[in-house]
Amino acid sequence: AQSVTQLGSHVSVSEGALVLLRCNYSSSVPPYLFWYVQYPNQGLQLLLKYTTGATLVKGINGFEAEFKKSETSFHLTKPSAHMSDAAEYFCAVRQNSGNTPLVFGKGTRLSVIA
């Protein structure tokens, strides 16, 4: 079985500060890992994904994440927060084979303070 733990249900940063959202996963098989963002009253938008290859992946809006197998982590970072980054962020995992569903964490709400 797979699971995702997102540390911190709410993170607050100042505009221009580093954003760090934490995600740890559990998987008995090699995983695919994802970060999705959800703005109020909207669906999920894919930010970035790790499937194979380079463990540091870059996504949209200046976000990036690093897959660390030894730490079973996939933390999301952005060097400088912008007001428009305020949203709910979800980390998700799935098996790297077959047509398996996504397993999501509970989400982290990011607030950006001016």
- φ/ψ (deg, to 5) at 40: -50, 130
Chosen residue from 12, 14, 26, 45 binding other proteins by CB under 8 A: 45
Q: Can you tell me the distance from the alpha carbon of 89 to that of 110, in angstroms, rounded to the nearest whole number?
A: 7
DSSP state of 79: S
C-alpha distances in Å from residue 47, one per residue of 1, 16, 70, 114? 24, 19, 23, 23
Question: φ and ψ at 84, to 5 degrees?
Answer: -70, -10
Query: Should residue 70 be labelled a site residue for other proteins when binding is judged by CB under 8 A?
Result: no
Q: In angstroms, what is the minimal distance from the CB of 40 to other proteins?
A: 11
d(CA 100, CA 98): 6
Q: Which of residues 49-68 bind other proteins (CB under 8 A)?
A: 49, 51
What is the footprint of other proteins within residues 24-43 (CB under 8 A)? 32, 36, 41-43
Q: Which of 1, 28, 101, 114 binds other proteins (CB under 8 A)?
A: 101
The piece of 15-23, 56-64, 75-83, 86-94 that touches other proteins (CB under 8 A) is: 86-94
Assess 44 for contact with other proteins (CB under 8 A).
yes
- Applying CB under 8 A, the residues found at the interface with other proteins are 4, 32, 36, 41-46, 49, 51, 90, 92, 94, 99-107
